[in-house]
């Protein structure tokens, strides 16, 4: 009796996907019109400009750079507050089990549309209305942040344990009461952490918005770059790097404290429930032993 070997699995689908990906990559290189002969010169050019910027930075304009950096931080902070005020309630309404299906679909579609627009594009559109002011950058950051922050909000709500919400509904609670007493206490640490993370993102993005005329440190960086004053550009970049690292460190420490605090509270509550279950288990064993003894 001859053994029949299994047929070799076909990889037609994987082959087609690989060919399509390869064609897309090839088309990307062709459309960019890269001059490959210039690539060996890039490292030397980069090193040349790094020396111009950081070999002898011009610290005489440091006070102005610090003031512009503060404007960028203020822009980022105001944008984050606007994002949080709008995104948390909208994100909760978009969560499954909170808002009706038609409203969830409408809000999630709106969030997807907002995420499709970069902050710089929104700032350019707003410039025609609000003018060349830092408020334009703050407004652009607030609007663009809604798309991502709301997505984080409804995904956080949907990932929560269903027990507390079901208990509130079983007791006759309304949707608003369920959100207030069941969903919000569980989701608040994560949502606050996401808000601080959004602030870190806004710090970096505010420098880019300044280059399109929204003010702040990016505006100063763009102006001195256009005039080829590389020593001032280097000093400005140092200010941006140091300020961003300081803000990231402070924000990261606060976020870790918030999340660790939530974990500690949950851990503290856990031994009590375990102890109660252990007591009940011991009582059952003692009762069973007493019954067996009789």
Which of 71, 54, 72 lies closest to 232, judged by CA? Answer: 54
Arithmetic mean of pLDDT, 123-148: 87
Q: pTM for the full model?
A: 0.74
Q: Which residues contact 30 (CB under 8 A, 6 or more apart)?
A: none
Per-residue pLDDT tens for 100-134? 999 999 999 999 999 998 888 888 888 888 877 78
244, 203 Cβ separation under 8 angstroms: yes
Across 102-106, 123-127, 146-150, 283-287, least confident range = 283-287
Identify the band that residue 89 occupies on the pLDDT scale cut at 50, 70 and 90. Answer: very high
CB 115 within 8 A of CB 129: no
Q: What is the pLDDT of residues 191-213, one digit of tens each?
A: 988 898 899 899 888 888 887 77
Structure tokens at 127: 């410039």
Among residues 107, 232, 224, the alpha carbon closest in space to that of 157 is found at: 107
Is 50 exceeded by the pLDDT of residue 160?
A: yes
Per-residue pLDDT, averaged over 170-188, amounts to 89
Instruction: Please tell me the chain's helix, strand, coil percentages from 3-state DSSP, rounded to the nearest 5.
Output: 85, 0, 15
83 and 145 in contact (C-beta within 8 Å)? yes
Domains and CATH numbers, the chain: 63-286 (1.10.3720.10)
**Do 191 and 156 form a contact (C-beta atoms < 8 A)?**
yes
Q: Could you read off the pLDDT of 222-277 as tens digits, one per residue?
A: 889 988 899 999 999 999 999 999 998 998 888 888 877 654 444 444 444 555 55
Whole-Å CA distances, 47 to 219, 222, 265: 24, 20, 52
> What's the pLDDT score for residue 134?
82
């Amino acid at each position: 009796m001859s053994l029949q070997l299994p047929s070799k699995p076909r990889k037609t689908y994987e082959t087609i996907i690989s060919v399509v990906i390869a064609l897309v990559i090839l088309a990307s290189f062709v459309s960019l019109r890269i001059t490959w002969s210039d690539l060996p010169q890039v490292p030397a050019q980069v090193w040349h400009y790094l020396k111009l910027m950081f070999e002898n930075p011009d610290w005489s304009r440091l006070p102005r750079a610090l003031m512009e950096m503060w404007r960028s931080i203020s822009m980022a902070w105001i944008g984050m507050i606007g994002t949080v005020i709008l995104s948390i309630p909208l994100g909760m309404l978009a969560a499954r089990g909170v808002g009706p299906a038609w409203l969830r679909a409408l809000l999630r579609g709106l969030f997807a549309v907002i995420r499709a627009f970069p902050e710089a594009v929104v700032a350019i559109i707003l410039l025609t209305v609000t003018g060349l002011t830092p408020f334009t950058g703050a407004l652009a950051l607030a609007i663009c942040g809604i798309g991502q922050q709301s997505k984080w909000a409804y995904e956080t709500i949907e990932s929560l344990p269903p027990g507390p919400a079901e208990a509130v509904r079983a007791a006759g609670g309304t949707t608003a009461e369920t959100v207030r007493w069941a969903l919000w206490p569980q989701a608040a640490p994560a949502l606050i952490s996401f808000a601080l993370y959004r602030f870190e993102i806004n710090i970096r993005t505010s420098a880019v918005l300044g280059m399109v005329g929204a003010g702040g440190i990016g505006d100063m960086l763009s102006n001195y770059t256009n005039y080829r004053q590389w020593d001032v550009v280097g000093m400005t970049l140092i200010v941006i790097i140091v300020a961003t690292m300081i803000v990231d460190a402070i924000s990261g420490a606060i976020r870790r404290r918030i999340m660790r605090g939530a974990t500690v509270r949950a851990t503290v509550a856990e031994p009590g429930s375990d102890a109660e279950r252990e007591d009940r288990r011991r009582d059952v064993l003692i009762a069973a032993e007493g019954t067996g003894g009789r």
